[in-house]
């Protein structure tokens, strides 16, 4: 196990590029010696793996809704509610099965180290850090599997501290390099945070968070795993896609259920029909943020203030500016304003109401499934339910957040390359496959991702400024 490079020398370099101005909620790491990353060779076809979905209780209700709200507010800079901030979440082409834990948190299995050890990780396109609990992690459940650096022959030690605080949760530890694999693809020397303290971050057998956003919002400064695989030309195509499985708010029978599939290196054509509608991403940089063309509610067009929205698989609900939320529910005759913990911006309706709301992206309108729009019952009788769209006060350039309430109704795909984009398609089968990356495009203009944290020092001051401003953008 090799030690970190001189902290004093690194600190001088970091000061010179402006990292000393970073937000105090996290410690910006010093650089670690880099080793050349030789990823696994590109496979002939993409791989699809199962994902699972998990929540804190068997049915969606007001408490799970409050946890989801607290998570989104903490993640994107809005004022948090007094409710508990505990998480209540969710190949040849690499396809992974997902698990659904109480309809609120999607997770899948990755492997870390040599010999490889498997861990269940939350899949989050709204953040970019990989955070993994270590053995005997403080604040973790006794059932939470932890990473052991001493048990892996490919682990590279570091004294670089990592610490982040958001909402009522926090995590701290050190940055480590090791081989990390997902859906059959391996990345040597992947940098991640090995955390010996986690407060309200992981629960049960979930060991951490796999950020799937862009490196510019990684508080560790590391290139995220899937982006690194794309940069190195490992993938048949620089794409990953989700087919989420959802359940009606009152039909969940256990805390953990099948959640769908994740495909890496292409898309799963058996999970959607027709072509994927690609929408180029836009500001704010670092997020999977796309233009929102329009919305309807009960067949009426909504006048929106929102122009862009972040696509976030790590978030359950849909958060939008208060004016837009009011305009939407004004068209739903059965909906009434509702206050939670003294805060407004929420709406309720009879649980048996069939809600008709659509969102338009790239000129195509998509209906939010009525079952997904129903965020759970307020009362024990199950007669009054909450709507999944709520008023969110954000900070900076973030306007709105598109979570699983929408994503469970479509096939969603995320594309790296020269024209990064988010794509949607109708759920079904027999879809049109995405084009694979050419060998030329893989070899020209493609730079190796961070094989160690020394790559931090090659980043522009603009990237550093973005990193500092979004350090709070994490999971609930």
Which residues are CB-contacts of 104 (< 8 A; sequence separation ≥ 6)? 53, 54, 55, 56, 60, 64, 67, 68, 88, 89, 90, 316, 404
User: Does pLDDT of 8 surpass 60?
Assistant: no
Residue scoring higher pLDDT (458 or 141): 141
pTM of the complete model: 0.78
What does the pLDDT read at residue 11? 31
CA 364, CA 290: separation in Å to the nearest integer?
13
Q: Return the beta strands (E) in 139-271 as ranges.
A: 161-166, 169-182, 185-199, 206-211, 239-244, 256-264
Domain ranges of the chain: 7-23+36-469
Query: Which of 41-50, 90-99, 349-358, 447-456 is predicted least confidently?
Result: 447-456
**Where is pLDDT greater, at 47 or 356?**
356
Residue 223 has pLDDT above 90, yes or no: yes
Torsion of CA 421, 308, 84, 142, to 10 degrees: 10
pLDDT tens per residue across span 138-167: 999 899 999 999 999 999 989 999 987 665
The helix (H) or strand (E) run that includes residue 365 is strand 364-367
Query: Which architecture does CATH list for 7-23+36-469?
Result: Beta Barrel (2.40)
Whether the Cβ atoms of residue 131 and residue 208 lie closer than 8 Å to each other: yes
Give the active site residue among 124, 160, 178, 324: 124
Alpha helix stretches (DSSP H) within 116-200: none
Lowest-pLDDT range of 48-52, 116-120, 255-259, 424-428: 255-259
Whole-number percent of the chain with pLDDT over 90: 53
> Once rounded to an integer, what is the mean pLDDT over residues 228-254?
81
Annotated catalytic residue within 160, 178, 203, 312: 312
In 3D space, the residue among 341, 321, 290, 463 whose CA is nearest the CA of residue 400 turns out to be 321
Identify the three-state secondary structure at position 271. Answer: helix
- Is the N-terminal amide bond of 115 cis, ω within 30° of 0? yes
124 included as an active-site residue: yes
Q: If we measure between CA atoms, which residue out of 78, 95, 257, 80 comes closest to residue 182?
A: 95
């Amino acid at each position: 196990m090799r030690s970190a490079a001189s902290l004093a020398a690194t600190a001088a370099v970091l000061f010179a590029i402006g990292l000393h101005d970073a937000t105090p909620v996290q410690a910006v790491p010093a650089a670690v010696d880099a080793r050349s990353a030789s990823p696994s060779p590109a496979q002939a076809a993409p791989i699809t793996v199962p994902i699972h979905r998990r929540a804190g209780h068997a049915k969606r209700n007001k408490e799970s809704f409050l946890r989801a709200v607290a998570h989104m507010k903490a993640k994107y800079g809005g004022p948090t509610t007094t409710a508990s901030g505990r998480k209540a979440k969710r190949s040849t082409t690499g396809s992974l099965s997902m698990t659904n834990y109480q309809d609120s948190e999607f997770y899948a299995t990755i492997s870390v180290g040599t010999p490889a050890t498997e861990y269940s990780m939350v899949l989050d396109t709204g953040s970019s850090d990989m955070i993994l609990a270590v053995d005997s992690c403080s604040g973790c459940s006794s059932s939470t599997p932890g990473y052991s650096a001493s048990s892996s022959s490919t682990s590279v030690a570091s004294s670089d501290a990592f610490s982040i605080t958001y909402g009522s949760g926090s995590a701290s530890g050190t940055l480590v390099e090791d081989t990390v694999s997902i859906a059959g693809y391996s990345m040597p020397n992947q940098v991640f945070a090995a955390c010996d303290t986690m407060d309200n971050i992981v629960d049960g057998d979930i060991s951490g968070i796999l950020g799937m956003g862009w490196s510019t919002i990684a508080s560790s400064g590391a290139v995220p795993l899937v982006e690194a695989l794309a940069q190195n030309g490992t993938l048949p195509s620089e794409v990953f896609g989700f087919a989420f499985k959802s359940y009606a708010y009152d039909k969940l029978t256990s805390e953990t259920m099948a959640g769908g599939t994740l495909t890496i290196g292409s898309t799963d054509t058996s999970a959607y029909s027709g072509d994927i509608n690609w929408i180029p991403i836009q500001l704010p940089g670092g997020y999977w943020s796309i233009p929102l063309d329009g919305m309807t509610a009960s067949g009426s067009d909504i006048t929106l203030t929102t122009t862009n929205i972040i696509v976030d698989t790590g978030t359950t609900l849909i958060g939008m500016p208060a004016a837009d939320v009011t305009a939407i529910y004004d068209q739903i005759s059965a909906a009434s304003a509702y206050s939670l913990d003294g805060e407004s911006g929420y709406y309720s309706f009879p649980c048996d109401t069939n809600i008709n709301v659509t969102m338009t992206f790239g000129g195509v309108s998509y209906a939010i499934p009525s079952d997904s729009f129903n965020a759970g019952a307020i009362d024990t009788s199950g007669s009054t339910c909450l709507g999944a769209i709520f008023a969110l006060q954000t900070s900076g350039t973030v306007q709105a957040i598109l979570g699983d309430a929408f994503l469970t109704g479509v096939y969603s795909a995320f594309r790296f390359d020269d024209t990064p984009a988010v794509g949607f398609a109708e759920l079904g089968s027999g879809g049109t496959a995405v084009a694979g990356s050419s060998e030329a495009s893989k070899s020209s203009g493609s730079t190796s991702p961070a094989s160690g944290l020394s790559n931090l020092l090659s980043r522009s001051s603009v990237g550093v400024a973005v990193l500092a401003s979004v350090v709070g953008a994490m999971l609930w």
